[in-house]
Amino acid sequence: MTVRVAVDALGGDRGSAEIVAGALEAAGDGIVPVVFGPEGLDACGLEHVVTDGEIAMDDKPAEAVRALPDSSLVRAVRAVGDGDVAAAVSAGNTGATLAASLLHIRRLRGVFRPGIAVTIPTRRGPSVLIDAGANADARPEHLVQFAHMGVVFAEEVLGIHEPRVRLLSIGEEPEKGNQLVLEAHAMLTRSELVFDGNTEGRTLLEGEGDVVVADGFTGNVALKTLEGTIRSVLRSLRSEIDHSVRGRVGGFLIRPSARELRARLDPETYGGGYLLGLRGIVVIAHGSSSRRAIANAVRLAARGVEHDLVGRLERRLPSRSAGAAD
């Protein structure tokens, strides 16, 4: 089986050459990346769809998608809706990717809102955080639906048997949380999901839940805090070590271990998150993605296609009314 994956060459902070290099790295093994970018772009021999216009990181999503229908981002996403490719990857404006996806790929029947599902590299293996930032504001029934989508992802793609769901809050007790979380907690308790109650940010890397549910604002703050803290701690340790000869020798000796740890914790290892709830596969990569991150994002997109993530979501999601009444 060959999976064609559209890659938005203009998304991301490092320029199109880095994105194309990532796409090239992922080519082969049944993956055919298709580069979407302007005339004159060096596609390094990959298939190249010529596009016109660029959506910037700080453009207003809906306006930009309307004003730039031939931009690399919109065209890459539209190619999924049109059936020209099986999946799309963009490291560009997240809001615009969401808006273009709603317009050109559309939601699965019964889905309130798509949510971004990212993989967290916990000490016990991968877990899923959903929503990591598609919707800044959410209602309790959205959180319940994110839980359902996260469970399908965890089970079908990550291979976790009967994934346990946790709700991200400010204490483990059911009465801890804001209004949104309190209501979502009650609905999750009544649902057929394996719901283990609330979890706190401190346990995110410990892997207490297989699927951690949050509204997109909280999930995004938690994810970025997690990623930033990992980077800050490792950087601070290195600068402490560099202060002394003894430290520098020790630093040399622990280098393989530190590299191992960095590889496990590095967000680039996963490359990006799925925008779940659509009639097609879209992967949202970090704006700062390197070629390695882009290559992994393309592989993630292809894996979603191979596992028929969309079809499985369609079959397994409770109907909208059932979801709301859960």
Residue numbers at the binding site for a copy of itself (CB under 8 A): 58, 60, 123, 133, 136-137, 168-170, 173, 175-179, 181, 200-206, 215-218, 220-234, 236-237, 240-241, 243-244, 246-247, 249-258, 260-261, 264-265
Q: Which is nearer to a copy of itself, 217 or 292 (CB)?
A: 217
Nearest distance in Å: CB 157, a copy of itself:
24
Cα–Cα–Cα angle for 14, 224, 299, nearest 5°?
55
225 vs 319, beta carbon nearer a copy of itself? 225
Asked if residues 279 and 106 have their Cβ atoms less than 8 Å apart, the reply is yes
Taking the least distance from each CB to a copy of itself, the nearer of 86 and 212 is 212
> How near is the Cβ of 239 to a copy of itself at its closest, in Å?
9
- The least CB distance from residue 124 to a copy of itself, in Å, is 11
Q: What share of the chain is helix, strand, coil (3-state, %, to 5)?
A: 45, 20, 35
Find the shortest distance in angstroms from Cβ 197 to a copy of itself: 12
Q: How far is the CB of 109 from a copy of itself (least distance, A)?
A: 27
List the alpha helices (DSSP H) in the chain: 16-26, 61-67, 72-81, 94-104, 140-156, 179-190, 216-241, 245-253, 255-265, 291-306, 309-316, 320-325
* 14 to 20, 43, 44, 147, 269: CA distances (angstroms): 11, 16, 17, 33, 18
Classify residue 247 as exposed, middle or buried by CB count within 10 Å of its CB (0-12, 13-18, 19+): middle
HSE-CB for 271 with a 13 A CA cutoff: 24
H or E stretch at 272: strand 272-276
How near is the Cβ of 175 to a copy of itself at its closest, in Å?
7
What is the DSSP code (8-state) at residue 1? Answer: -
CB of 121 or CB of 280, closer to a copy of itself: 121
Residues paired with 6 in a beta bridge: 34, 88
Nearer to a copy of itself, 50 or 234 (CB): 234
CA 11 to chain centre: 15
- Toward a copy of itself, which CB reaches closer, 68 or 86? 68
How far, in Å, CA of 122 to CA of 160, rounded?
Answer: 14
The nearer residue to a copy of itself, 176 or 307, going by C-beta atoms, is: 176
What is the nearest approach in angstroms of a copy of itself to the Cβ of residue 187?
A: 18
C-beta of 53 vs 247, nearer to a copy of itself: 247
What's the closest the beta carbon of residue 198 comes to a copy of itself, in angstroms? Answer: 11
Rounded distance between C-alpha atoms, residue 112 and residue 210, angstroms:
23
Shortest Cβ distance from residue 56 to a copy of itself (Å)? 10
What's the Cα-to-Cα distance from 291 to each of 7, 15, 21, 112, 298, rounded to whole Å? Answer: 12, 10, 6, 33, 10
CA-CA-CA-CA torsion sign (10, 12, 16, 22): negative
What are the beta bridge partners of residue 119? 128
